[in-house]
């Protein structure tokens, strides 16, 4: 089994199909670390509770064995569709780092930055850390221009709504918008704590005629992984 961590799943799967032997299983993957462990050294402890999303090509035994290896490391394997996963990555991996770069650009472009920079501390450093990687993400955005434009538009709508509320002196609207965002972040973080650290279901067990993996991922995706034919209408 050959595994690559990071990169476009669609592009990597195409390369694997072109260059790897047919009997060689290939997994393109992304390790989604627990948010509480962000910034810590990448070691076995940091992998505990992580979501290891994978796009697999191979036999059920090969992919199941690799999923077991991931579980043994304390992470949770999740088999996903390559196109869907790349689209999700744009929203939650790529765009945040791009926004970090845009914040850095916006705050530093005028002449007053020379004085302002000395008051920029840890909070600003954390908020703009993604700017360092942003230039490497252009190809990922170009690979799916429609999805990239969608998420940039969504961010701009939020910015415009906040700007309009502030210009109108509407503190209630501004507070409501930011409070809603804070509450959604809290729920997202809580879901990690309650749901994603309980371990992944084994992918080779059956329950009521449906695989556990099917209950977890949806039977259609589980069938795709196991090589079962799809019913076409």
DSSP assignments along 140-193, one per residue: HHHHTHHHHHHHHHHHHHHHHHHHHHHHTT-HHHHHHHHHHHHHHHHHHHHHHH
Mean pLDDT of the chain: 83
pLDDT tens, position by position, 192-223: 777 655 544 333 333 333 343 443 444 444 44
How remote is the C-alpha of 183 from its chain's centroid?
Answer: 20
Average pLDDT over residues 137-152: 93
Q: Which of 71, 10, 63 is nearest to 224 (CA)?
A: 63
**What's the CATH code, domain 2-80?**
3.40.50.720
pLDDT category of residue 32 using cuts at 50, 70 and 90:
confident
pLDDT beyond 90 at 134: yes
Distance CA 80, CA 55 (A): 6
Distance CA 88, CA 140 (A): 12
Q: Taking the domains of the chain in order of start, what are their residue ranges?
A: 2-80, 85-193
pLDDT at residue 104, rounded to an integer: 97
**What's the CATH code, domain 85-193?**
1.10.3660.10
Which pTM does this prediction carry?
A: 0.72
Sign of dihedral through CA atoms 169, 173, 174, 176? Answer: positive
């Amino acid at each position: 089994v050959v595994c690559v961590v990071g990169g476009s799943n669609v592009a990597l799967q195409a390369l694997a199909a072109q260059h790897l032997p047919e009997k060689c299983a290939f997994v393109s993957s992304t390790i989604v670390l627990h948010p509480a462990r962000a910034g810590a050294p990448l070691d076995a402890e940091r992998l505990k509770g992580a979501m290891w999303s994978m796009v697999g090509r191979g036999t059920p035994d090969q992919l199941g064995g690799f999923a077991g290896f991931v579980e043994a490391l304390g992470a949770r394997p999740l088999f996903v569709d390559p196109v869907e996963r790349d689209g999700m990555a744009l929203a939650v991996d790529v765009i945040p780092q791009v926004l970090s770069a845009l914040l850095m650009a916006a705050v530093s472009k005028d002449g007053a930055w020379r004085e302002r920079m000395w008051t920029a501390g840890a909070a600003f450093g954390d908020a703009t850390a993604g700017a360092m990687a942003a230039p490497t993400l252009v190809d990922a955005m170009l690979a799916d221009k429609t999805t990239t434009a969608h998420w940039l538009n969504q961010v701009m709508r939020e910015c415009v709504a906040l700007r309009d509320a502030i210009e109108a002196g509407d503190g209630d609207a501004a507070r409501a918008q930011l409070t809603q965002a804070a509450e959604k972040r809290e729920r997202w973080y809580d879901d990690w704590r309650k749901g994603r650290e309980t371990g992944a279901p084994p992918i080779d067990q059956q329950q009521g005629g449906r695989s556990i993996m099917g209950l977890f991922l949806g039977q259609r995706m589980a069938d795709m992984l196991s090589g079962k034919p799809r019913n076409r209408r």
